[in-house]
Homo-oligomer: A and B are copies of this chain.
Amino acid sequence: MSITEKYSGVELTTAGNVYFDGKCVSHDFVTADGVHKSVGVVLPAKLTFGTSKPEVMECVAGGCRYLLKGASEWKTCSPGEMFSIPENSGFDIEVADEPFHYICHYG
């Protein structure tokens, strides 16, 4: 599994997004071909995220366990792996020791 380590030619928003009192911090960017994404870090915690649009969470470092809304089985996500969340849905995420570094793909 290859890890997406860098994006070139992006427009980066300098102010970050802070969720759950900082347990998750991310920065938005727009790719060279105009697609909105974000890079972020989830610190050790157990959180629940909601989605309005479909999202794909791609792990670039660290790892997590996640439980998609309505699912009954927790799964793991390691560097190079990703998981999809439908629109108007959500997921629980559990980060244990090492923070979960991710790219969020929207739409």
Contacts and interface: CB of A to CB of B under 8 A. Distances in A.
The prevalent SS among residues of A at the interface is strand
A3 to B, nearest CB: 8
Nearest to A99: B18
Contact of A10 (B12, B15, B18, B103): B12
Contact of A15 (B8, B9, B21, B60): B60
Given A3-B14, A16-B39, A25-B41, 20 more contacts: A5-B14, A5-B15, A6-B11, A6-B13, A7-B12, A7-B14, A10-B10, A10-B11, A12-B12, A14-B101, A14-B103, A16-B41, A16-B99, A18-B43, A22-B22, A22-B23, A22-B41, A22-B43, A22-B99, A25-B25
